[in-house]
């Protein structure tokens, strides 16, 4: 999705340098072409100092307004809403919707990030923003994850690669305000002029050798009343931290086993809890034959029927697994009763929107692609801790939409929102999964039912079979061409409905009236916003049709892009072939924009495009732009039988991607090291989606029950040669990165497979037609725990 | 409830647990040792990988009764002590290569990597691409490439 640069923190027209301006201001007010009023600065921003015993500064985190074309749609600027005195004292400043930075007496700086860290590295990049603007060492910045804060409305949602886009400016504003306050306090303490002071590495020094640390100033710089102040932010040329490779600040905790995920927390009396789940998707409990018998099993404290199955609470998860397997439950059919891949495909075909008549007398290419269900599971299973009492509830879970979770849990429990505390824990991966809070809701229900705290964990089989899936979809593409011109490009994407009910929708529905897409449904709006045509392909149209809401779906590192782009790029390859052009040169000639051509040319150059390859192997390139970012990838694939058929126990080998060169331009890069990691992960997802990863739907349930059935990329599928190229920053603001790499990678692997085998793949993943495992039983719903561990020690 | 005695991260421990309680739950739910993670419970994802007597083992598939009092169980928490340092060279390599994304699988990845390097060293040969392909631990964040680099770098210092 395209999400506009943070509108609320845009130009502050009419503000000039004045005596009240914070001394932290670092650059003269500059004229800027984009400024409404020539000659007035646009990099000045408003922040706050809050009333507190030590220094607390703040900024508003505003709505990230989506637009089809960034910067075209006007939004209300904060400066249009306030009196433009540089410093105002507010009698009753509404501070609840602010994000705050605190300076502590020990010289550390802390910030509670209203987002979920699920591996994407945002705590590190956030610490970098603060270190940059506040001139403190990175290791003195502590970033934690904020509890659910309903007052932030939809500004506490982690999704759509939007975190850095929407927090980049407000976090720096708060840090810059703190810097200014510290300098002012230091001027008094050192009896020096502010202009003679330097803040470096957390210490302020004057011209005559005097110095004072920011910890010592934490109280002196504090304010007894809330104030609004204006600050300037550093210019890109001044950056010393932003844009430099930085290792993750949470890595030490992770590699020592000290990093705490939800199931690692020690909440008093929160005992292991699991749920016996139905054999078909969303089935319901009919009756249970042996509740008392299972209650009497060793370690089991509670057993009870809940809305999603039969919950058991025990001393250990091992005992929970035994109890779940022992339950004898009769089930009512689920939402997808009787459905299969074949029946869903039929439904998708029937729901496809018309693609129109063929243009007369012009040649064209056309294909329909099928994309099967894919599991949304992270490695950390779906889980949450809940402690529900009669008058209050406390929840711990890795949540990307904690406000919606809090509201839903309060409603389910019949408690006021204020009585429900929702803690956001570190998440063990998400890929869209943690946008849903089903585990938190379920844990709350069970804790209420049992009257005890519970540590709820889904078994892996639960995640695979009752969890979220990327919806099955088809994409029909037709392109007409004549000579060296592409006359038109039409794409009709038809998908099982994607559940966007987690609140991502709020952003759009709230702003839908402003969008140039007319009165159409939300997912159609989302589709239009997130999909673009980067090539000069004449008249083009893309339409989405969604059908069948009976599945538990979700976005998975991209809602529509990976499938839509994969289909598009395969047709691009076919167009190039029809027109007798090299696939790289064809793309370069038709791509719009210098940034786009630059990444494509970069991968061709570094990846040695066009080198001679043995039969059965091939190169391919693909391109994708989204979130104000552009990406291109070159892959080499080996589809020779000796590679495809190499033996791997309980795994899918298949073609091997042997080399990947990926170039990315996110506008402004905050942390190149982290960005590289994000791209690498996206490449692995792209490989999986094209070659190995899918769910098979049969008789209303998915056959896959664990990681030995669901073939996400493994070491034996990993390209031995992988190079990520982070392009030099091309803009002043960061674009999105979290989901970016998946689409181009998936497409390039598909194109390479087509070129290596001489047959364009049309159904994904390519191995979906072959079931590479023996399905596990659905009753009992979880497999027995093995006992032969010591036989496999190596 | 029967008692079971084994060595855990250098210390003798005795726990009360059912004979067939898997070691993973003895560690996590009874002893509070949470470095080994649950990812599948059937010994396929390898997130719980730890060492038994210095070799890679998966506690989710080991009934606690199978352990003898002299068996040394090492989890990620006890890995540094095996080299008498704050960090094992493989952990340091992980930091240097900035491998971690979400971090959930990484304790298991590191324990598997250490065991691999020991095994290959015993065979008196360098680590090959095939050895790295043979690492079965799943990383859903897709950090595989940096893992490969880190294993090679860590092996140099082991």
* Beta carbons within 8 Å of A229's beta carbon, 6+ residues apart: A20, A21, A22, A46, A47, A48, A49, A86, A87, A177, A180
B158: distance to nearest CA of chain A, Å? Answer: 17
Q: Is B76 on the interface with A (CB under 8 A)?
A: yes
- Nearest by CB to residue A257, choosing from B53, B56, B75, is B75
Note whether A129 and A61 are within 8 A (CB): no
Locate the chain A residue with the closest alpha carbon to B57. Answer: A793
* Percent of chain A whose predicted confidence (pLDDT) is above 90: 69
The three-class DSSP label of residue A530 is helix
Does A344 score more than 70 pLDDT? yes
Mean pLDDT score of chain B, rounded to an integer?
Answer: 97
B8: distance to nearest CA of chain A, Å? Answer: 15
- Nearest by CB to residue A119, choosing from B17, B103, B147, is B103
The dihedral of CA B39, B44, B45, B46: what is its sign? positive
Spell out the alpha helix ranges (H) of chain B.
23-25, 89-96, 106-122, 129-133, 144-157
How would residue A524 be classed by pLDDT, with cut points 50, 70 and 90?
low
Cβ of B44 and A708 within 8 Å? yes
Calculate mean pLDDT across residues A522-545: 80
Task: Report the C-alpha gap between A755 and A752 in whole angstroms.
Answer: 5
Q: What is the fold, at CATH topology level, of the domain defined by B3-76?
A: Ubiquitin-like (UB roll) (3.10.20)
* Percent of chain A whose predicted confidence (pLDDT) is above 70: 85
Continuous segment of H or E residues that includes residue A666? none
Cβ of B56 and A256 within 8 Å? no
Task: Report the C-alpha gap between A756 and A207 in whole angstroms.
Answer: 68
- Nearest by CB to residue B76, choosing from A257, A428, A677, is A257
The three-class DSSP label of residue A596 is helix
Please report the pLDDT score of residue A523 as a whole number: 66
Please state, in angstroms and as integers, the Cα–Cα distance from residue A387 to each residue in A27, A394, A453, following that order.
51, 5, 4
Locate the chain B residue with the closest alpha carbon to A783. Answer: B42
Q: Which residues of A touch B77 (CB under 8 A)?
A: 256-257
Spell out the alpha helix ranges (H) of A388-503.
402-413, 438-450, 460-466
Note whether A440 and A397 are within 8 A (CB): yes
A533: distance to nearest CA of chain B, Å? Answer: 28
Please report the pLDDT score of residue A769 as a whole number: 96
Helix, strand, coil percentages, rounded to 5, for chain B: 40, 15, 45
Does A404 score more than 90 pLDDT? no
Cα angle A28-A32-A38, degrees, rounded to a multiple of 5: 95
Cβ of A431 and B148 within 8 Å? no
Q: Which residues of B touch A774 (CB under 8 A)?
A: none
Specify the range with the lowest mean pLDDT, choosing from A464-468, A515-519, A713-717. Answer: A515-519
CB atoms within 10 A of CB A30: 14
Please state, in angstroms and as integers, the Cα–Cα distance from residue A73 to each residue in A247, A256, A625, following that order.
37, 48, 20
The CATH number assigned to the domain with range A262-335+382-457 reads: 3.30.365.10
Task: Report the C-alpha gap between A441 and A435 in whole angstroms.
Answer: 13
- Nearest by CB to residue B29, choosing from A316, A381, A459, is A316
Q: Look up residue A441 and give its two tokens.
A: 């809701």
Mean pLDDT score of chain A, rounded to an integer?
Answer: 86
Size of interface A-B (CB pairs under 8 A): 236
B139: distance to nearest CA of chain A, Å? Answer: 7
All structural domains of chain A with their residue ranges: 7-176+221-254, 262-335+382-457, 342-374+469-764
The three-class DSSP label of residue B72 is strand
Calculate mean pLDDT across residues A202-223: 95
- Nearest by CB to residue A321, choosing from B26, B41, B147, is B41
Cβ of A318 and B25 within 8 Å? yes
Q: Look up residue B74 and give its two tokens.
A: 């090492």
Cβ of A256 and B76 within 8 Å? yes
Specify the range with the lowest mean pLDDT, choosing from A148-152, B98-102, B151-155. Answer: A148-152
Of A442, A448, A446, A445, the C-alpha closest to A389 is A448
Which segments of A515-592 are extended strands (E)? 539-547
Cβ of A319 and B106 within 8 Å? no
Continuous segment of H or E residues that includes residue A44? strand A44-49
Q: Which residues of B touch A299 (CB under 8 A)?
A: 18
Does B86 score more than 70 pLDDT? yes
Q: What letter does residue A312 receive in the DSSP assignment?
A: E
A631: distance to nearest CA of chain B, Å? Answer: 18
Please report the pLDDT score of residue A495 as a whole number: 95
Please report the pLDDT score of residue B92 as a whole number: 98
Among A123, A139, A145, A256, the residue to mutate for chain B (most B Cβ within 10 A): A256
Does A278 score more than 80 pLDDT? yes
Please report the pLDDT score of residue A62 as a whole number: 61
- The separation between CA A398 and the C-alpha centre of its own chain, rounded to angstroms, equals 13
Which segments of A627-732 are extended strands (E)? 629-638, 656-665, 697-698, 701-702, 721-726
Locate the chain A residue with the closest alpha carbon to B129. Answer: A720
Q: Which residues of B touch A722 (CB under 8 A)?
A: 145
Cβ of B133 and A459 within 8 Å? no
Q: Which residues of A touch B22 (CB under 8 A)?
A: 318, 785, 789
Does A520 score more than 60 pLDDT? no
Cβ of B63 and A673 within 8 Å? no
Note whether A435 and A400 are within 8 A (CB): yes
The CATH number assigned to the domain with range B81-157 reads: 1.10.150.120
The dihedral of CA A15, A20, A24, A28: what is its sign? positive
Locate the chain B residue with the closest alpha carbon to A121. Answer: B101
Q: Look up residue B82 and give its two tokens.
A: 């095996």
Please report the pLDDT score of residue A13 as a whole number: 30
Q: Which residues of B touch A251 (CB under 8 A)?
A: 94-95, 98-100, 103
Among A139, A248, A318, the residue to mutate for chain B (most B Cβ within 10 A): A318
Specify the range with the lowest mean pLDDT, choosing from A35-49, A98-112, A775-789. Answer: A35-49
Does A372 score more than 70 pLDDT? yes
How would residue A507 be classed by pLDDT, with cut points 50, 70 and 90?
very low
Task: Report the C-alpha gap between A433 and A440 in whole angstroms.
Answer: 13
The CATH number assigned to the domain with range A342-374+469-764 reads: 3.30.365.10
Please report the pLDDT score of residue A200 as a whole number: 94
Residue with tokens 């923190």: A9
All structural domains of chain B with their residue ranges: 3-76, 81-157
Residue with tokens 């037609």: A769
Q: Look up residue B1 and give its two tokens.
A: 């409830």
Task: Report the C-alpha gap between A630 and A640 in whole angstroms.
Answer: 32
How would residue A541 be classed by pLDDT, with cut points 50, 70 and 90?
confident
Please report the pLDDT score of residue A792 as a whole number: 95
Cβ of A793 and B76 within 8 Å? no
Of A538, A264, A490, the C-alpha closest to A398 is A264
Continuous segment of H or E residues that includes residue A706? none
Does A658 score more than 90 pLDDT? yes
Note whether A474 and A407 are within 8 A (CB): no
Specify the range with the lowest mean pLDDT, choosing from A134-148, A265-279, A305-319, B131-145. Answer: A134-148
CB atoms within 10 A of CB A14: 12
Q: Which residues of B touch A119 (CB under 8 A)?
A: 101-104, 141
Cis ω before A90 (30° cut-off from 0): no
Task: Report the C-alpha gap between A492 and A487 in whole angstroms.
Answer: 17
Note whether A475 and A368 are within 8 A (CB): yes
Look at strands B3-8 and A374-375 and give their pairing.
Answer: unpaired
Specify the range with the lowest mean pLDDT, choosing from A47-56, A325-334, A521-530, A608-617. Answer: A521-530
Note whether B27 and B15 are within 8 A (CB): no
Buried b / exposed e over A505-544, threshold 16 CB at 10 Å, is bbbbeebbeebeeeeeeebebbbbbbbbebbebeebebbb
Interval A735-768: pLDDT, tens: 888 889 999 999 999 999 999 999 999 999 999 9
B47: distance to nearest CA of chain A, Å? Answer: 8
Continuous segment of H or E residues that includes residue A202? none
Task: Report the C-alpha gap between A61 and A589 in whole angstroms.
Answer: 41
Specify the range with the lowest mean pLDDT, choosing from A58-72, A490-504, A582-596, A702-716. Answer: A58-72
Cβ of B52 and A788 within 8 Å? no
How would residue A413 be classed by pLDDT, with cut points 50, 70 and 90?
very high
Of A239, A72, A62, the C-alpha closest to A167 is A62
Please report the pLDDT score of residue A366 as a whole number: 95
* Beta carbons within 8 Å of A255's beta carbon, 6+ residues apart: B76, B87, B91, B94, B95, B99, B100, B103, B106, B107, B110
Buried b / exposed e over A108-130, threshold 16 CB at 10 Å, is bbbbbbbbbbbbbbbbbbbbbbb
Locate the chain A residue with the closest alpha carbon to B37. Answer: A380
Task: Report the C-alpha gap between A704 and A461 in whole angstroms.
Answer: 8
Residues 29-48 of B with CB under 8 A from A: 29-30, 32, 34-45, 47
Cα angle A325-A330-A336, degrees, rounded to a multiple of 5: 100
Report DSSP letters for A324-386, one per residue.
Answer: HHH--EEEE--TTTT--HHHHHHHHHHHPPP--PPPTT--EEEEEEEE--EE---SSPSEEEE
Residues 78-107 of B with CB under 8 A from A: 80, 87, 91, 94-95, 98-107
Calculate mean pLDDT across residues A262-290: 97
Note whether B80 and B106 are within 8 A (CB): no
Task: Say which residue, A31 or B128, is predicted with more confidence.
Answer: B128
Locate the chain B residue with the closest alpha carbon to A679. Answer: B142
- Nearest by CB to residue B103, choosing from A259, A722, A782, is A259
Locate the chain A residue with the closest alpha carbon to B113. Answer: A794
Calculate mean pLDDT across residues A463-492: 95
Task: Say which residue, A705 or A549, is predicted with more confidence.
Answer: A705
Q: How far apart are the first and last CA of chain A?
A: 46
Interval A81-113: pLDDT, tens: 222 222 222 323 445 578 889 999 999 999 988
């Amino acid at each position: 999705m395209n999400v506009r640069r943070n509108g609320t923190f845009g130009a502050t027209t009419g503000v000039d340098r004045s005596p009240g301006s914070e001394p932290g201001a670092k650059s003269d007010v500059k004229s800027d072409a984009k400024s409404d009023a020539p000659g007035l600065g646009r990099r000045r921003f408003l922040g706050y100092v809050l009333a507190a015993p030590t220094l607390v500064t703040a900024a508003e985190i505003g709505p990230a307004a989506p637009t089809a074309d960034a910067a075209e749609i006007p939004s209300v600027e904060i400066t249009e809403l306030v009196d433009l005195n540089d410093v105002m004292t507010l009698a009753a400043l509404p501070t609840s919707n602010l994000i705050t930075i605190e300076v502590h007496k020990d010289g550390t700086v802390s910030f509670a990030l209203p987002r979920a860290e699920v591996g994407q590295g945002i705590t590190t990049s956030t610490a970098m923003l603060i270190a940059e603007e506040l001139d403190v060492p990175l290791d003195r910045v502590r970033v934690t994850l904020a509890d659910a804060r309903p007052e932030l409305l939809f500004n506490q949602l982690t999704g759509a690669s939007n975190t850095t886009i929407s927090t980049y400016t407000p976090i720096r504003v708060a840090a810059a305000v703190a810097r200014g306050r510290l300098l002012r306090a230091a001027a008094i303490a050192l009896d020096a002029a502010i202009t003679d002071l330097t803040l470096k590495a957390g210490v302020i020094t004057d011209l005559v050798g005097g110095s004072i640390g920011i910890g010592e100033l934490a109280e002196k710089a504090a304010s007894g009343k809330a104030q609004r102040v204006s600050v300037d932010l550093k210019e890109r040329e001044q950056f010393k931290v932003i844009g430099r490779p930085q290792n993750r600040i949470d890595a030490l905790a992770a590699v020592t086993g000290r990093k705490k995920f939800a199931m690692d927390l020690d909440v008093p009396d929160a005992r292991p809890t699991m749920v016996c789940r139905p054999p078909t998707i969303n089935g319901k409990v009919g009756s249970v034959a042996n509740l008392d018998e299972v209650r009497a099993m060793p370690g089991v404290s509670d057993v009870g029927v809940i809305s999603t199955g039969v919950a058991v609470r025990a001393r250990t998860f091992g005992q929970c697994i035994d109890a779940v397997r022992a339950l004898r439950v009769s089930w009512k059919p689920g939402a997808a009763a009787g459905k299969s891949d074949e029946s869903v495909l039929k439904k998708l075909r029937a729901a496809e929107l018309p693609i129109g008549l063929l243009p007369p007398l012009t040649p064209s290419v056309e294909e329909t692609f099928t994309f099967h269900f894919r599991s949304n599971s992270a490695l950390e299973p779906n889980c949450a801790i809940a402690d529900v009492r009669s008058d209050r509830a406390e929840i711990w879970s890795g949540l990307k939409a904690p406000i919606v979770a809090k509201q839903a849990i309060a409603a389910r429990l019949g408690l006021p929102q204020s009585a429900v505390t929702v803690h956001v824990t570190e998440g063990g991966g998400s890929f869209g999964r943690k946008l849903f809070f089903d585990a938190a809701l379920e844990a709350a229900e069970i804790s209420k039912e049992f009257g005890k705290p519970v540590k709820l964990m889904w078994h892996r089989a639960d995640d695979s079979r009752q969890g979220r899936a990327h919806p099955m979809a088809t994409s029909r593409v037709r392109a007409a061409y004549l000579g060296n011109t592409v006359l038109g490009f039409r794409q009709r994407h038809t998908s099982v409905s994607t559940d966007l009910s987690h609140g991502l929708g709020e952003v759009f529905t709230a702003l839908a009236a402003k969008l140039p897409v007319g009165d159409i449904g939300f997912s159609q709006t989302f589709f239009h916003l997130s999909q673009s045509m980067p090539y000069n392909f004449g008249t083009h149209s893309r339409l989405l049709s969604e059908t069948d809401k009976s599945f538990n779906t979700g976005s998975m590192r991209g809602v529509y892009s990976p499938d839509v782009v994969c289909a598009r790029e395969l047709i691009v390859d076919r167009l190039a072939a029809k027109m007798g052009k090299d696939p790289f040169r064809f793309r370069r000639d038709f791509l719009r924009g210098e940034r786009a051509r630059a990444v494509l040319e970069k991968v061709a150059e570094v990846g040695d495009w066009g080198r001679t390859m043995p039969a059965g192997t091939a190169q391919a390139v693909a391109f994708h732009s989204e979130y104000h970012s552009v990406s291109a990838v070159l892959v080499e694939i080996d589809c020779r039988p000796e590679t495809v058929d190499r033996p791997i126990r309980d795994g899918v080998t298949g073609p091997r991607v042997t080399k990947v060169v990926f170039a990315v331009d996110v506008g402004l890069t905050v942390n190149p090291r982290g960005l590289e990691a994000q791209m690498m992960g996206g490449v692995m997802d792209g490989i999986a989606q094209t070659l190995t990863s899918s769910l098979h739907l049969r008789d209303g349930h998915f056959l896959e029950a664990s990681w030995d059935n669901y073939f996400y990329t493994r070491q034996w599928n990993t390209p031995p040669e992988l190079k990520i190229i982070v392009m030099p920053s091309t803009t002043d603001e960061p674009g999105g990165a979290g989901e970016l790499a998946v689409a181009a990678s998936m497409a390039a692997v598909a194109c390479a497979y087509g070129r290596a085998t001489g047959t364009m793949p049309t159904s994904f993943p390519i191995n979906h037609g072959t079931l590479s495992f023996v399905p596990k039983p659905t009753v009992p719903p979880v497999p027995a725990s093995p006992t032969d561990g010591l036989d496999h020690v190596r | 409830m029967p008692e079971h005695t084994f060595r855990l991260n250098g210390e003798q421990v005795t726990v009360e647990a059912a004979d067939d309680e898997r070691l993973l739950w003895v560690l996590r739910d009874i002893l509070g040792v949470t470095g080994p993670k649950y990812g599948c419970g059937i010994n396929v994802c390898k997130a719980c990988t730890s060492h038994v007597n210095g070799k890679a083992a998966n506690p989710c598939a080991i009934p606690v009764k199978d352990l003898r009092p002299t068996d040394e169980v090492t989890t990620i928490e006890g890995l540094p002590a095996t080299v008498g340092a704050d960090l094992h060279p493989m952990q340091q390599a992980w930091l240097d290569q900035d491998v971690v994304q979400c971090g959930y699988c990484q304790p298991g990845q590191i324990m598997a990597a250490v065991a691999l390097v020991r095994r290959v060293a015993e065979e008196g040969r360098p680590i090959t691409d095939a050895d790295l392909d043979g690492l079965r631990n799943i990383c859903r964040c897709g950090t595989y490439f940096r893992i490969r680099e880190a294993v090679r770098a860590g092996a140099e210092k082991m």
